[in-house]
Amino acid sequence: MFKKTLAKILVSMTALLFILSLSPAQAEAKEKKIMLKVPVCFATVLPGLGTTAPWIAERIETASNGTIRMKVYEPGKLVAPFEILDSVSKGKINAGYSMAAYWAGKINAGPIFSAIPFGPEAGEYLAWMYYGNGLKLYQEMYDTHGYNVKVLVCGINAPETSGWFTEEITSVEQFKGMRMRFMGLGGAAMEKLGVSVSLLPGGEIFPALEKKALDATEFSIPAVDKRLGFHKVAKYNYFPGWHQQATIFELLINKDTWNSMTDHQRMVLEMMTRAATLDAFAYTEAIQGAAMRENVEKNGVKQMYWSKEMLAEFKKAWEAVAKEQSAADPFFKKVWDDVSAFRSDYKMWQTYGFLPRPEPPK
């Protein structure tokens, strides 16, 4: 009996030593190679919006020792931008890059995970996501709404501009009847002020402005807006972007694909998306000043800063939206209460920890 037991122990130890002796290349060979085909909702030429997924695609094969590859598809080449969530969930594609605000028609709370009017800014937003309940609630949102996806935060942008207008705005009365492209929760607030809001993808905005189907628009950060040529049809560019002080993007992976990965592969994706998020923020922070100067010096743009009175009107409208959405949707309320509690606790640090910002030029 003793000899049989000893023999079993020796066999087990030999097997363990063999596994431990495998070279990294041999160990990796045991992993099934995965190709992630990733349609994106923004053209990859748009800095910050479209450059994050390619940033990962260029690095993930090396980071995963060849076990994960990623191919990025321009908007509409594989599936339409607004079909990404459904397509990933149903397994038509195994991954996609987008933002949760685009699913507002299906999930009321979606926009909270993209941008929240009047903050949080990037640091606070990521603090809630990674060290509060943000990421947990983000996944819960997709799970409870029946979507078969794993969500990873994948990119965060610098503040957006508040919008492009053909005239100076001095009163909220000017918004009544205005046709404006606006996204997410900020768009719902603008509707409270009488704006007729539509959510057009980036490539359709300039033609709509040019043909006067739109009177005004918001879209993104200054470097992106400049590239899209909004300055050619609207000369008043307003700041601050009260509706999107930071914008979070997502990498969606079909949950069956995610569950089929090894722990190593999942860790690589988690680390790569965190690294890409940091890179996206640093990049978008770095390029705005030059874009704004060029708009003023070469494109004749008037950079405007909302008065305290106008910002108060925007905030009042947003608070009404938050109250209404919380009353209408229990999950929206759950998320809103959670992020509000986190922000209340964060406020002590925010109040004491940072220098005051310089006043904008008159």
Render pLDDT for 242-292 as a digit per residue (tens, 0 to 9): 999 999 999 999 999 999 999 999 999 999 999 999 999 999 999 999 999
Query: 186 Cβ partners below 8 Å, 6+ apart?
Result: 115, 117, 218, 242, 243, 244, 318
Euclidean distance between CA atoms 150 and 88, whole angstroms: 10
Residue 73's H or E segment, with its range, is strand 68-73
pLDDT at residue 271, rounded to an integer: 98
Residue 155's H or E segment, with its range, is strand 149-157
pLDDT tops 80 at residue 183: yes
The secondary structure of 314-338 as a DSSP string is HHHHHHHHHHHHHHH-HHHHHHHHH
Nearest Cα neighbor of 48 from 153, 157, 160 is: 157
pLDDT at residue 357, rounded to an integer: 87
57: helix, coil or strand? helix
Q: Which structural domains are found in the chain, ordered by start?
A: 32-158+246-286 (3.40.190.170), 163-243+300-353 (3.40.190.10)
Euclidean distance between CA atoms 139 and 211, whole angstroms: 41
Asked if residues 105 and 184 have their Cβ atoms less than 8 Å apart, the reply is no
pLDDT at residue 359, rounded to an integer: 84
Euclidean distance between CA atoms 129 and 213, whole angstroms: 38
Euclidean distance between CA atoms 241 and 183, whole angstroms: 12
pLDDT at residue 179, rounded to an integer: 97
Nearest Cα neighbor of 275 from 123, 113, 153 is: 153
Asked if residues 38 and 57 have their Cβ atoms less than 8 Å apart, the reply is yes
* pTM for the predicted model, two decimal places: 0.90
φ/ψ of 155, rounded to 5, equals 115, 140
pLDDT at residue 358, rounded to an integer: 87
pLDDT at residue 13, rounded to an integer: 39
pLDDT tops 80 at residue 29: no
Asked if residues 314 and 241 have their Cβ atoms less than 8 Å apart, the reply is no
The per-residue pLDDT for range 127-176, each reduced to its tens digit, is: 999 999 999 999 999 999 999 999 999 999 999 999 999 999 999 999 99
Euclidean distance between CA atoms 113 and 134, whole angstroms: 8
**CA 276-280-285 angle, 5° bins:** 155
Nearest Cα neighbor of 170 from 361, 299, 304, 320 is: 304
- Helix (H) and strand (E) counts in the chain: 15, 11
Under the banding of pLDDT at 50, 70 and 90, the label for residue 293 is very high
The per-residue pLDDT for range 72-109, each reduced to its tens digit, is: 999 999 999 999 999 999 999 999 999 999 999 999 99
Q: How many CB atoms lie within 10 A of CB 328?
A: 10
Euclidean distance between CA atoms 112 and 74, whole angstroms: 26
Burial class (CB in 10 A: 0-12, 13-18, 19+), 127: middle
Nearest Cα neighbor of 75 from 36, 39, 38 is: 39
Q: What is the mean pLDDT of residues 178-201?
A: 94
Separation of first and last alpha carbons in the chain: 92
Place of tokens 């999930």: 107
Euclidean distance between CA atoms 130 and 271, whole angstroms: 12
pLDDT at residue 6, rounded to an integer: 39
Under the banding of pLDDT at 50, 70 and 90, the label for residue 18 is very low
- Whole-number average pLDDT of the chain: 92
pLDDT at residue 203, rounded to an integer: 85
pLDDT at residue 30, rounded to an integer: 80
pLDDT tops 80 at residue 352: yes
The secondary structure of 207-256 as a DSSP string is HHHHTTS-SEE--S-HHHHHHHTGGGT--EEEE--TT-SSEEEEEEEEHH
Which tokens go with 257? 């694909």
Under the banding of pLDDT at 50, 70 and 90, the label for residue 225 is very high
